[in-house]
């Protein structure tokens, strides 16, 4: 073997060694960027809790087996448990205003000049938006958030780190449920969640997109919440969002000649 061939072999061997070292460093650096599941959840929960007040205007489409419709709306949320929703028709005509808390509600039907009052906010919101969620989960859904408080005390059943997604799976055999959460690796945004039975029957899902940062918290302006089993869905498109602006009180103006109905 002449000297030229020897030199070529040495150069190639050196390149392979350098390439191997570079690849190994790249793999290590990728591994170092992986966030442990418990720290990831704490970050997501921390972001959710940063939002104390929320104001949004846009459109909402509600769909169920018995009803389907789209309208303009405005929402004010004051955590932990107050929501005001105003619904508008064509040309900005007032249709209805609702004020809901964990203990009571007022729903003003402007067109019929009557107001419904009562204590079961959850039941009214379910009838209004045709989706089976708790009051607290519905409040979080309007802000594009997912409450992960109960998951902080347990490790995920499965934790997959894909190319650009963290995929967390929780299985609760006691209640026959599996929950999957998909979070982007780059900006730590929850883009999708899915709740199903252990046999794979879908119960509830959420999809979030068109994110923008508000006070360093990524909030989606497009939301889709679905209950496939019951054929129910809420599709929200926000045109404007304001967070953490002081809301001193939430109220609805009621005319003196209004009809009041206890519910």
Q: Which residue segment(s) compose the domain that 200 sits in? A: 41-262
Burial class (CB in 10 A: 0-12, 13-18, 19+), 57: middle
Up-side HSE of residue 234: CA atoms within 13 Å toward CB? 23
The confidence score (pLDDT) of residue 8 equals 38
Q: Model's pTM, two decimal places?
A: 0.80
**What CA–CA distance (Å, rounded) separates 200 from 101?**
34
In a domain, 3, yes or no: no
In a domain, 18, yes or no: no
> How many domains is the chain partitioned into structurally?
1
101 confidence band (pLDDT: 50, 70, 90): confident
In a domain, 137, yes or no: yes
The confidence score (pLDDT) of residue 23 equals 39
Q: Is the pLDDT of residue 225 over 80?
A: yes
Q: Is the pLDDT of residue 14 over 60?
A: no
> In the chain, what's the furthest Cα-to-Cα distance?
107
Query: Is 234:222 a contact under the CB 8 Å cutoff?
Result: no
Q: Is the pLDDT of residue 41 over 70?
A: yes
In a domain, 182, yes or no: yes
The confidence score (pLDDT) of residue 122 equals 67
Least confident of 4-8, 36-40, 104-108, 172-176: 4-8
Q: Is the pLDDT of residue 21 over 50?
A: no
In a domain, 27, yes or no: no
In a domain, 5, yes or no: no
Mean pLDDT of the chain: 83
Residue 182 corresponds to which tokens in the numbers above?
Answer: 């998909």
- Residue 92: give its domain's CATH number: 2.50.20.10
In a domain, 36, yes or no: no
In a domain, 14, yes or no: no
Compute the average pLDDT of residues 152-180.
92
Structure-token match 């055999």, residue found: 173
pLDDT digits (tens, 9 = 90+) for 128-153: 776 677 778 888 889 999 988 888 88
């Amino acid at each position: 073997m002449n000297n030229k061939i020897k030199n070529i072999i040495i150069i190639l061997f050196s390149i392979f060694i350098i390439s191997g070292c570079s690849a190994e460093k790249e793999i290590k650096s990728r591994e170092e960027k992986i966030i442990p599941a418990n720290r990831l959840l704490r970050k997501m929960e921390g972001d959710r809790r940063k939002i104390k007040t929320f104001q949004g205007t846009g459109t909402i489409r509600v769909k169920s087996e018995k009803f389907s419709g789209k309208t303009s709306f405005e929402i004010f949320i004051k955590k932990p448990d107050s929501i005001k929703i105003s619904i508008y028709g064509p040309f900005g005509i007032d249709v209805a205003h609702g004020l809901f808390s964990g203990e009571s509600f007022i729903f003003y039907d402007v067109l019929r000049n009557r107001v419904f009052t009562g204590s079961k906010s959850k039941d009214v919101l379910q009838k209004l938006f045709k989706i089976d969620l708790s009051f607290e989960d519905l409040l979080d859904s309007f802000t594009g958030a997912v409450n992960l408080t109960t998951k902080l005390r347990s490790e995920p059943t499965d934790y997959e780190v894909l190319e650009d997604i963290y995929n967390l799976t929780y299985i609760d055999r006691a209640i026959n449920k599996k929950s999957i959460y998909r979070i982007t690796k780059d900006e730590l945004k929850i883009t999708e969640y899915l709740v199903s039975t252990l046999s794979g029957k879908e119960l509830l899902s959420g999809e979030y997109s068109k994110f923008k940062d508000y006070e360093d918290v990524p909030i989606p302006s497009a939301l889709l919440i679905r209950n496939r089993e019951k054929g129910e869905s809420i599709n929200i498109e926000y045109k404007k969002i304001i967070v953490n602006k002081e809301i001193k009180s939430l109220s609805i103006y009621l005319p003196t000649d209004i009809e009041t109905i206890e519910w």
